[in-house]
Structure 1
Amino acid sequence: MTALTYTILTDPTSLEASVDGRLPSTGTVYLMVTNTRQTVPWLRIEVKVPVGDGAGHLTRDISTIKPRGEYTDTQSGPQAATQPVIVQPQGTDVFQVTTQSGRLEGFAPGDYMLLTLENVAVAPTAGVAVLTVTETTKTSRGWQTSHAAVPVVKAAPKEIPAPRDFRPDKAMLDAGENLTLSWDGSNDFSYEIRFPGGHAVIAPGTRTWAPADAPKRATTYILVATDPTTQKQHFLTTTVQVRYPVLETLTATSGIDTPWVQGTANKGRVTFTGTGAEIFSNSGGQGTVHADRADLNGVNAEWVQGRSADDGWISFPKEGLNVRKGAGQAWGTVFADKVDVNDVITNQVHGSGEGKGYIQFLDQDKGVRIFGGVSAGWIRGLNDDEAWIRFNEKGIWVLKNQNGKRESANVSCATVNDRHA
Structure 2
Amino acid sequence: MRLTADSDVLLRYSVTSDPDPLQVSTGDKEADATLTITFRGTNPKTYVRGLRITLPVGSDAASLTDDPKAIHTSVTPQKKWTIDSDGDGTFTVTPRGGETSMTLNDAATIELSAIPVNTAVGNLSVTVEETTSGDGSDYAPRTAAFGLSKWPAGFVFGDFRPDRAMVANGDPCTLTWVANSPARYTLYCDTNQVDVSNTQSYTVSSLHHTTGFLLQAGYTDHGDTVTHALTTLVTVDHPDVAASDLSADGTVKLLRRVVPLTDFVDDPLGAPSRSYVATTDGLLTGGIAAPYGGSIKVTAEVTVPGGQPDGTDYSYLRTYSSSTDGDERPITLPLPAGAALRLTKSGKPGSDPDAVFDLAWLPFGSGPLNPAS
Q: Tell whether the structures are fold-level matches, with TM greater than 0.5.
A: no
User: If the length of structure 1 is used for normalisation, what is the TM-score?
Assistant: 0.33
* TM-score normalised per structure 2: 0.37
The structure richer in strand per residue is 2
Question: Which one has a bigger Cα radius of gyration?
Answer: 1
